[in-house]
Amino acid sequence: MIRAFREENRFSKQLLETMDTNNVAQLYLLCSFRWLSIRLELVGAIFVLISALTSLISCIVGAISPSLVGLALTYAISICGQANWMVRMFAECEMNMNAVERVKHYTKLKTEAYRGTYNPSPSWPDKGDIQFENVSVRYADDLEPVLEDINVHFKAGEKIGICGRTGSGKSSLTLALFRMTDTFKGRILIDGIDVSQVSLLTLRTRLAIIPQDPVLFSGTIRFNLDPESEKSDAELWAALGVAQLHEVIADLPEQLEADISEAGENFSVGQRQLFCLARAFLRKTKILVMDEATSSIDVKTDAILQHVIATAFADRTVLTIAHRMSTIIDSDNVLVLSKGRIVEFGSPKTLEKQDGSHFAALLKGHS
């Protein structure tokens, strides 16, 4: 018995080490519920014992009949199961009330200011000039800033690499550009226009982004590239050619009308990323954000992506959040962030040669 107990403890320890945080929490709740069940069974057993003794004594002295003793014992035995059932119902009710709490929380969230005070021209932005002026960003009013006093100027047509350690604020910088985070201090100018004065719909349709996780929707290839049906077939094929997908789609029986399964599972991750690239090319925007777009693709597809960026997007401002440092080594300028602040900004070749450079340390760490 002792040996079996030790083996069970060893197995439980290994199980806990291999499980993630959510599973450990579920296991903890399960164990807590089981311990409560054991205690309830103990209380029920004591109650049955007391009921049995009092009923038998009453029967012996002639206070009640034997049939009533059996009835009393039957009800006493059922109490244990009913107590466990009651606890289980209370636990399920509490878990289901989480949905109600979420709905109540979302009803109190502050609605984004979709409307703007300034209506830019249809061609805005026509240059792609971006300027951050003393920008500070946070995700909620009660949280610490994730970006503090950011002052930087990205000139039109520049290829900017953004790098830094995990949690340095790289993605937060681009989210602030799309006004998806709270910019509580400073302002962001695109071609001289404050983005906080532009409506969200206008702002987000005038910028393009290639996310870290490629997004494809259930539907046809045409729908995924041009959901509003504004582009011609020639433009769609040109975009596929730029993304190196022309031959892949041309070999399909239905070509542009071919179906894409849910989340694009009938295409590889690299091909999905290239679809996002083709979609961004069709937008014809002057600003493109690449949020670690190469993190889930192989080196060959990464090389294709970098070639397209250097050629098809030569006249556009491209902000690249680096996953591999090799993707930004040929950028015009590199922005290095640390703890939400700018620590370096300049040419990658210049920063690489500087003594004590943060960029050089990042390069060395990824080599």
Mean of pLDDT values over 132-148: 88
Domain shared by 140 and 62, yes or no = no
pLDDT in tens, 42-63: 777 787 788 777 777 777 777 7
Residue 113 belongs to a domain: no
Residue 222 maps to a domain: yes
Using CA atoms, how far residue 89 sits from 86, 93, 96, in Å, is 5, 6, 10
Residue 112 in domain = no
State which residues form the domain around 268.
130-366
141 and 234 inside one domain: yes
Tokens of 111: 């609605």
For 104, the token pair is 């109540």
Query: Rounded mean pLDDT of the chain?
Result: 80
Query: Measured between alpha carbons, how far is 49 from 341 in angstroms, rounded to an integer?
Result: 70
| Confidence at 15, pLDDT banded by 50, 70, 90 | very low
Over residues 10-30, the mean pLDDT reads 49
Burial class, 147, CB count within 10 angstroms (exposed 0-12 / middle 13-18 / buried 19+): buried
**pTM metric for this prediction:** 0.67
pLDDT band at 366 (very low <50, low <70, confident <90, very high): low
Q: Is 184 among the domain residues?
A: yes
Question: Are 209 and 291 a contacting pair, CB within 8 Å?
Answer: yes
Domain-located, residue 148: yes
Domain count, the chain: 2
- Please tell me which of 28-32, 80-84, 225-229, 306-310 the model is most confident about, judged by mean pLDDT: 225-229
Those residues whose C-beta lies under 8 Å from the C-beta of residue 228, and which sit 6 or more positions away, are: none
State whether 135 and 92 are in the same domain: no
